[in-house]
Structure 1
Amino acid sequence: MVQQGTEALLLAILGLFSLCVVMVFLFVIFQKKKNVLLMHQTEAARQYEKEIIESQVEIREQTLRNISWELHDNIGQLLTLAKIQLQSVKENPHHITDVNDNLTTIINEVRSLSKSINPDYISKINLSEAVQIEIDRFNKLNYIKASLTTKGDIFQLDKKAEIIIFRILQEFFSNTIKHSKATELAVEMEYVKNKLYIKAIDNGRGFEVNNAGNNGIGLTNMKKRGALINAEVAINSEIDTGTSLIIALTNTR
């Protein structure tokens, strides 16, 4: 009996020891997986912040290019016209009214331009307003016939998400103007409850979406940036028909 009791005790101790070993083993595996998950989360957060910074830098660079275009294509032409008008005032004094009107236009254009490069002004406007400014600029400079339609009740998005979406749209707009030879660009923003749907369509020459060579014009960047904010980004195109960009985002603010 004593021997049987001793054997039972040894078996119990062995079983308990084995259980402890298994628990330690499982704990080690759990910790490793937890560490890997935390590492991935940290890396994802780092990549997200890096992308935000890069997008902000690119938006600033695009803004500077916009200023350059406006100075050359818009204000420069208005100043040239004002110079011509001033030269004709001596012979035709009534032209002074035209000069005055033109100078008023130039002043308003400069004020508008100064607003667009003011960080405080930019930070206070929402995504829809920022897109409208881009659309207005395209029309004013006669780059393309552009329009923006906004549906639903506009809600505020997370500012970082707005930066990403605005940069995606800027890339699409840039491709449309530089590469597509489009004459029309239509943008629709629809706010439905906590979701935002954006569709941008041009009537350009189109391209083959699955052609690997087309990744060089920003298509990969658009989708990668969309993934950072859990936005669905789809790009469709048909040769000689046009290209469309569709963005769907759930507001988590």
Structure 2
Amino acid sequence: MDEKEIIIIAAIAIPISLVIIVIVLFSVFARRKNRLLLEQQKAKEVYERELAESQIEIREETLRNISWELHDNIGQLMTLAKIQAQMSLEKPEMMVEVSETIGTGIDELRALSKLINPEALKSLSLREAISLEIDRFNRLKFIAAHLTVEGTVVPIEANTQIILFRILQEFFSNTIKHSKASSLKVVLDYTDEKLTITAEDNGVGFEKEDDFMGIGLKNMKTRAKLINSSLKIDSVKDEGTALHLTYEFA
């Protein structure tokens, strides 16, 4: 094979090789793109599923709260008002107390009505939603609860807010049901870059993470990851449990 033939073969082979390389690269790129789109679609489906589950769980928890409050708080106020009204037949001066008791019951119903609408959370800020929970705990004497807000409040997208609130609601529920705590402190600390949420109780605590909430803790961590947040649960046996959650603003 002389030099001219080698040049001709090379002239043919090089373009063909380049075409093959381009085809291979395009194929690799297309596969990666399709895989990325598939991963994004799966991530979107997971987010939407967790969001829907959070909304359902918030609604269920809200209905339980309404049931407890109607029975344990408003029901007792109305019973008291009835007794006072009966006594006022002999002591008319007690009508003032009857009026005050009924007024308190009406105020409680108004506060409760804010939670009856399943879409209520979307119209409330995260701070307002948490405040309603804190107020309810104190009103029903479940636990001595306190909310502190530091920094300038930054508005949060509604769906993200729902997930943040559900994570906290899960922690609150376990504090009320299992911790035997007498106090609960919640701090919302806003900066320009992030929101740091701390919730602490003074309950019995636990030694191992697996002892705390089981699947509930897994759900909290999964949901925190979906909104690019970091979540940590710390606990000391017989001293209490603390939730630390950091959400960075986009």
Does structure 2 retain, via aligned residues, the 8 Å contact 1:181–1:204? yes
**How much has 1:131 moved relative to structure 2?**
0.4
Structure 1 gaps of 5+ residues are none
TM (norm. structure 2) is 0.95
**How much has 1:89 moved relative to structure 2?**
1.4
**How much has 1:124 moved relative to structure 2?**
2.2
1:141-180 mapped onto 2 (5 Å cutoff): 141-180=140-179
| Match 1:241 to one of 239, 242, 250 | 239
| Match 2:225 to one of 224, 227, 244 | 227
The total of aligned residue pairs comes to: 250
Give deviations 1:77-130, integer Å, cap 9, x for gaps. Answer: 101111211221122221111111101111111122122223565422200111
Partner SS state of residue 153, structure 1: coil
- Distance in 2 separating the partners of 1:141 and 1:214: 25
Task: Determine the structure 1 residue equivalent to 2:188.
Answer: 189
Partner SS state of residue 61, structure 2: helix
- Distance in 1 separating the partners of 2:173 and 2:209: 20
Partner SS state of residue 218, structure 1: helix
**How much has 1:209 moved relative to structure 2?**
3.4
Q: Provide closer, same or farther for how the CA distance between residues 215 and 9 of structure 1 changes in structure 2, counting only shifts above 3 A.
A: farther
**How much has 1:215 moved relative to structure 2?**
5.2
- Distance in 1 separating the partners of 2:190 and 2:61: 27
Task: Determine the structure 2 residue equivalent to 1:57.
Answer: 56
Partner SS state of residue 146, structure 2: strand
**Segments ≥4 residues shifted beyond 6 Å:** none
26-35 or 162-171, larger mean C-alpha shift: 26-35
- Distance in 2 separating the partners of 1:81 and 1:35: 67
**How much has 1:12 moved relative to structure 2?**
2.4
- Distance in 2 separating the partners of 1:33 and 1:93: 83
Task: Determine the structure 1 residue equivalent to 2:70.
Answer: 71
1:15-94 mapped onto 2 (5 Å cutoff): 15-94=14-93
Structure 2 gaps of 5+ residues are none
Does structure 1 retain, via aligned residues, the 8 Å contact 2:59–2:118? no
Q: Which amino acid in the other structure matches residue 200 of structure 1?
A: A
Does structure 1 retain, via aligned residues, the 8 Å contact 2:167–2:223? yes
Q: How large is the RMSD of aligned CA atoms in angstroms?
A: 1.6
Q: Provide closer, same or farther for how the CA distance between residues 248 and 217 of structure 1 changes in structure 2, counting only shifts above 3 A.
A: same
8-17 or 144-153, larger mean C-alpha shift: 8-17
Partner SS state of residue 157, structure 1: coil
Task: Determine the structure 2 residue equivalent to 1:4.
Answer: 3
- Distance in 1 separating the partners of 2:189 and 2:140: 27
Does structure 2 retain, via aligned residues, the 8 Å contact 1:209–1:236? no
State yes or no: 1:200 paired with 2:192.
no
TM (norm. structure 1) is 0.94
**How much has 1:165 moved relative to structure 2?**
0.3
- Distance in 2 separating the partners of 1:32 and 1:119: 43
**How much has 1:144 moved relative to structure 2?**
0.1
Does structure 2 retain, via aligned residues, the 8 Å contact 1:182–1:203? yes
Give deviations 1:167-191, integer Å, cap 9, x for gaps. Answer: 0000000000001111100000010
1:133-144 mapped onto 2 (5 Å cutoff): 133-144=132-143
- Distance in 1 separating the partners of 2:114 and 2:171: 24
**How much has 1:7 moved relative to structure 2?**
1.9
Does structure 1 retain, via aligned residues, the 8 Å contact 2:174–2:213? no
**How much has 1:15 moved relative to structure 2?**
2.6
Q: Provide closer, same or farther for how the CA distance between residues 233 and 176 of structure 1 changes in structure 2, counting only shifts above 3 A.
A: same
- Distance in 2 separating the partners of 1:52 and 1:122: 13
- Distance in 2 separating the partners of 1:93 and 1:33: 83
